[in-house]
Structure 1
Amino acid sequence: MPVPSVSFEFFPPKSLEGSFRLWDCVNTLAPLDPSFVSVTYGAGGTTRKLTHEAVGTIHRTSGLNVAAHLTCVDATRSETLEIANGYADEGVTDIVALRGDAPKGSDKFTPHPDGFASSIELIEALSDNGKFNIRVGAYPEKHPEAADQAADIAFLKRKIDAGATSAITQFFFEADAFFRFRDACAKAGIDAPIIPGILPIENWNGTRKFAAQCGTHIPQVIEDAFYHATRDGTTELLATAIATELCDELLQGGVDHLHFYTLNRPELTRDVCHALGVTPKVRLQNVA
C-alpha cells in the first residue's frame, strides 16, 4: 500500500504557554514533510491577528507551505482582502476560504454590512485576485445548516466552480461515510480533490461535544470502546488504533492524502503517521 501524503492543521496560540505548545507541535510534525499545514481562525474571527502572526512565523522559520484560514466574519470586503494580500506579500498564497462560525453569543452567521455574504463570494474575490491557491471545507455527513446532503454537495460544487482547487472535509469516524460522500460529489460533477480530515481523539469528552456541534456521527462501537478504555486508562492506545484503522481503510479505498486536525497536540498524529509509513525525512531549510 502506498504511503500517503499528509497535511496538518494548527490553531494560533492565545498565551505564552500556547505559543510553546504550537512550536513544539510544528517541530514534532515538520520532519514528516507535510504537503502543507494550515492555521485556523477562532470562532467569530476572534484570533484574526494571532492567526496572521502564526502563519507568518511558521512560514518564515519552518520552511513549510502554510495555508491560512480566512473567513467572512465581522470584517468588510476590503479588510478581508487586505489580510489576504498581506499573506501574499509574505509569500503565503494558500488560503482555506470559509464562511466562518457565528461570533460567540450569536446563534447564526450574519454578514457584515460591507462584508462577504458567503464563502462563495469570498472565493470568487480571491480567485479574481489571481494570487491564491484556494481550499474550502466539505462535510461528509452534511453541514448542520444544510437542508440535506444533496443541497450541501450542490453548494460545494458552487465553491469549486467559483475558483477553489480542493476541499478538506470535516472529521468523521467511518470510512464509508467519506466514500459515499466522495462518490456523490463525483456524480454531481465535482472533480477537484477531496481530502479527508482526520481527528485523532485526544480528549474523549471534548470530541463528543465537538461531534455533536458539527453533525459527526460517532459509532456505538467507539462509544463503548472509550467507556472501557477510560475505565482502564488506555484511551491513548485506543485513540491511536481507531485513527490508524480509519486511515488504513481510506488508503485501501484509493485516498492518497490525509489531513490531520492536531489540536496543537502532535503525539497522536505523529504516532498514527508512523503506523502508516509516514516517517521523518531530512529537511533542508534556507537560512537568510
Structure 2
Amino acid sequence: MTRVADLLGAGRTFSFEFFPPKDDATQLSLGRTIAELEPLQPSFVSVTYGAGGTTRERTRNVVNWVAKETAITPMAHLTCQGHVRTEIADILDGYQAAGVENIMALGGDPPADLADRGPSDYRYASDLVAEVAATGAFSIGVAAHPEVHPASPDRAADRRHLAAKLAAADFAVTQFFFEVRHYVDLVNELADLDVTKPVLPGIMPITNAKQIARMARLSGAELPAWVVEAVERYDDPADVRRVGVELASKLCSDLLEAGAPGLHFYTMNRSTATREIYANLGLASLRVS
C-alpha cells in the first residue's frame, strides 16, 4: 500500500472519489465503474462516509475490497459526527489490519433523522485529525472550501481553521468549484499563513444541471452565470453533459497550468465523464504509458 503524502511528494496525482453502494445492484455498478477506471492508473481513490456514520460498514467494505482486489491505493473517509473515541479507535484498528494507510478526516454532516444521531466525542474535524495523527499509521487528508465553508463566520476565519487542520494533516482536497481563481486564491491565502502543504482541487463535471445546482447550494459553491448560460442553451441531456465535460476539461487544464499538484474527480460512481476528461487532457496515454 502507498501513502497519499508520498504519492504527492513524488509528483502530480490523479484520483477518483466514490460513494458506498446502498444495495447489491449498485454494488455491481460500482464494481464496473472501478474496473473501467482502473486502466487509467489512478494514484488513489477515496470512498465517502454517510452523515453521522450511516454508511460505516459499506464504506469499510468498499475500501477493503479495493485494497484487496485491485492494484489501486484506497483512502477511507471518516467523520467525527456521531462517533465516540472508542468507535474511532476500532475503525482505525480495522483499517490498519487491512493495510489501509490513508484517511480523509472530516467534520461530516449529522444524519437527517434525529433518531440516527448518536453521541459524539468530537466537535470539529481538527479534533478527529489529531486523533488519527496520534496513531502515526495514516496519511491524512482534510477538506477545503475554496469559496469558504458555509458555516464559517468570514473568509479569514475559514483560512485560519484550514491552516490549523493542515498543521497536523498531510494534504487537503477541495469541494468542487467552477472557476480557477477560487483555487488560486485559496492556495495564496494559505501561503500567506505559511501553509504550503498540497491542496488537490476537486472536480465535478456537470452531467445533470439540476443535480449540480442542488449540490452547489449545499456545499456553498457559486454556480456562475456563464456556466448556467452555457448549460441552459440546450434541452437535450446529452448536450448538457457534453458541455459539462468541456467546461470541466478546461478547468482542469487551467488548474494544471496554475500549478495544482493533481486533480481529484468526484465521479458520482460513473466512469464516462472522467474518462472523457482524461482523453481531452491527454492524460489517458500518460497514465498508461
Deviation at 1:233, TM superposition (A): 4.6
Three-state SS of the structure 1 residue aligned to 2:283 is coil
Of 85, 88, 103, which aligns to 2:111? Answer: 103
Task: Please show how residues 41-56 of structure 1 align to structure 2 within 5 Å.
Answer: 41-56=49-64
Q: Is the 8 A contact 1:44 1:101 kept in 2?
A: yes
1:128-143 map, 5 Å: 128-143=134-149
Question: Where does structure 2 lack aligned partners over 5 or more consecutive residues?
Answer: 1-10
> What is the DSSP-based 3-state SS (H/G/I as helix, E as strand, rest coil) of the residue aligned with 1:137?
strand
Q: Deviations over 1:88-145 (max 9, x none)?
A: 1100010000011121146xxx8835x2222111111111111010000000000000
Partner of 2:83: 75
1:240 paired to 2:245: yes
Aligned to 1:212: 217
Number of the residue aligned with 1:87 = 95
Whether 1:153 aligns to 2:159 is: yes
Aligned-partner residue type, residue 134 of structure 2: D
Structure 2: how far apart are the matches of 1:270 and 1:150?
Answer: 37
Q: Residue 230 of structure 1: SS of its match in structure 2?
A: coil
Contact 1:170–1:197 at 8 Å: present in 2 too?
Answer: yes
Q: Which amino acid aligns with 1:168?
A: V
Using the alignment, how far apart are the partners of 1:95 and 1:80 within structure 2?
Answer: 12
Choose between structure 1 and 2 for higher RCO, CA contacts under 8 A separated by at least 6 residues: 1
One-letter code aligned to 2:201: P
Over 4 Å off, 4+ runs: 280-283
TM-score (norm 1): 0.91
The one of 30, 41, 53 equivalent to 2:38 is: 30
Contact 1:173/1:218, CA 8 A, preserved across alignment: yes
- 1:218-275 CA deviation, whole Å, 9 max, x = no partner? 1111111111123585112101101001011111111230000000011001110121
Offset from partner CA, 1:161-187 (integer Å, 9 cap, x none): 2x2000000000000111111111111
Does structure 2 retain, via aligned residues, the 8 Å contact 1:4–1:278? no
Distance between the aligned counterparts of 1:243 and 1:126, measured in 2? 33
- Residue 112, structure 1, aligned to residue 119, structure 2: yes
Change (3 A) 1:233 1:119: closer
Give the corresponding residue for 2:229: 224
Mapped contact 1:73–1:101 kept (Cα < 8 A): yes
C-alpha RMSD of matched pairs (Å): 1.8
Retained in 1: the 8 A contact 2:45–2:73?
yes
Q: Distance in 2 between matches of 1:20 and 1:263?
A: 14
Distance 2:288 2:158 in 1: 41
Alpha-carbon offset, residue 84 of structure 1? 1.2
Question: 1:205 and 1:135, CA in 2 relative to 1: closer, same or farther beyond 3 A?
Answer: same
Partner of 2:6: none
Q: Name the SS of the counterpart of 2:275 in structure 1.
A: helix
The answer on whether the counterparts of 2:17 and 2:45 sit within 8 Å (CA) in structure 1 is yes
In the superposition, the TM-score normalised over structure 2's length comes to: 0.91
Richer in helix (by share): 2
- The 2-side partners of 1:245 and 1:4 are apart by 18
Equivalent residue, structure 1, for 2:206: 201
> Is residue 229–residue 238 contact of structure 1 (8 Å, CA) maintained in 2?
no
| Aligned residue identity for 1:120 | S
Gaps spanning 5+ residues in structure 1: where?
284-288
2:170 matched residue in structure 1: 165
Percent identity of equivalent pairs? 37
- Distance in 2 separating the partners of 1:259 and 1:148: 26
Aligned equivalent of 1:121, options 123, 127, 136: 127
Q: Which amino acid aligns with 1:90?
A: A
